[in-house]
Amino acid sequence: MNTLSLKAGIENLPVFLGFLTHFLTERSFSLKRRKEIEIAAEEALVNIIRYAYQLDKPGDLELSFHDKTDKRLEIEFRDRGTPFDPTSMTEPDTELSISERKIGGLGILLIRRMVDGLSYRRQGDQNILTFSILMPEDEIANKKGKTEAS
Amino acid sequence: MEIQKKKEDNIMVIAVSGRLDAVTSPELEKELLSIIAEGNKSLVLDFAKLDYISSAGLRVVLAGAKKIKQQQGILRLACLKGVVKEVFEVSGFDSIIPCFDTADSAFKAGS
């Protein structure tokens, strides 16, 4: 089961993140890497939960995992809400003082730093945000060893 | 998430453990604002046992830092580690809010 589709509500955030952590643990990601990816995923999920749909009409949010190659996997977020491309957001100025500092844009900044690749596309009525994640080194080595042995 | 408060020599140390995410952050925000409303001017947020923080958590820390500054008080951070430290570095928050290695050194930094 590599896909989870639920209502885009904040009450479902822990369910989505639990599903992600379970998947990443199975793929032997380190605890540090799992947390980094979880933070990026939380930012993407919360963004959809808060802004994709009108409050009185929450729609669905779909989280899915795709093994692209032995070295890379993709994590995909789909919704049918307002068209929104998070990759077009400008990053906040991290040099400002406490009083000048605004909170907006921090989510996208964290996503960019924690994932290995980020892309957005609008397909029909769907927003599709994709994280590209490099597999852990030892998992790649392990798979390679198995292929060579067979 | 769990919040423990301890007041010593007029400094309020708030130890937060567990996760500071979009679900749990409002609870810390409420607690911080009420601590500030009570007139406390020297706060230390002790993150020694914090395992996880997202932008929702950063938002609360920034809101607290801004609020206490308006009251001529100060908010310090202690014991950032692992992914929590990384999130503060990436966001640049580690350079706008004073960070210390231990709650004790944050405490002794003077007011």
What residue spans define the domains of chain A? Answer: 3-149
- Give CA separation, B68 vs A47, A106, B75, B79, B86, in Å: 28, 22, 7, 20, 24
List of chain A residues whose C-beta atoms are within 8 Å of the C-beta of residue B95: 94-95
Query: Tens of pLDDT along B23-38?
Result: 999 999 999 999 999 9
Q: What is the mean pLDDT of chain B?
A: 94
Nearest C-alpha neighbor of B56 from the set B28, B81, B20, B97: B20
Would you state the pLDDT for residue A92?
79
Would you state the pLDDT for residue A11?
95
Q: Is the Cβ–Cβ distance between B77 and B106 less than 8 Å?
A: yes
Q: Shortest Cα distance from A67 to chain B (angstroms)? A: 25
Sign of CA dihedral A104, B55, A98, B10: positive
Q: What is the CA radius of gyration of chain B?
A: 12
Q: Shortest Cα distance from B92 to chain A (angstroms)? A: 5
Q: Is the ipTM of this complex over 0.90?
A: yes
The DSSP secondary-structure symbol of A90 reads P
3-state secondary structure of A88: helix
d(CA A13, CA B64): 25
Query: Tens of pLDDT along A19-50?
Result: 999 999 999 999 999 999 999 999 999 999 99
Domains of chain B plus CATH, in order, are 2-103 (3.30.750.24)
List of chain B residues whose C-beta atoms are within 8 Å of the C-beta of residue A39: 52-54, 83, 87
Q: Shortest Cα distance from A150 to chain B (angstroms)? A: 39
| Closest in A32, A103, A109 to B90, CB measured | A109
**How does strand B99-100 pair with strand A3-7?**
unpaired
Residues (pLDDT < 70) of chain A are 1, 103, 138-140, 142-150
Residues (pLDDT < 50) of chain B are none
Q: Which fold has domain A3-149?
A: Heat Shock Protein 90 (3.30.565)
CB pairs under 8 A between A and B: 66
Instruction: Please judge whether A46 and B58 are an interchain contact, meaning their C-beta atoms are less than 8 angstroms apart.
Output: no
% of chain A surpassing 70 pLDDT: 91
Would you state the pLDDT for residue A91?
78
The percent of chain B in helix, strand and coil, each rounded to the nearest 5, is 45, 30, 25
Q: Is the Cβ–Cβ distance between A147 and A51 less than 8 Å?
A: no
Would you state the pLDDT for residue A141?
72
Would you state the pLDDT for residue A146?
64
Length of chain A: 150
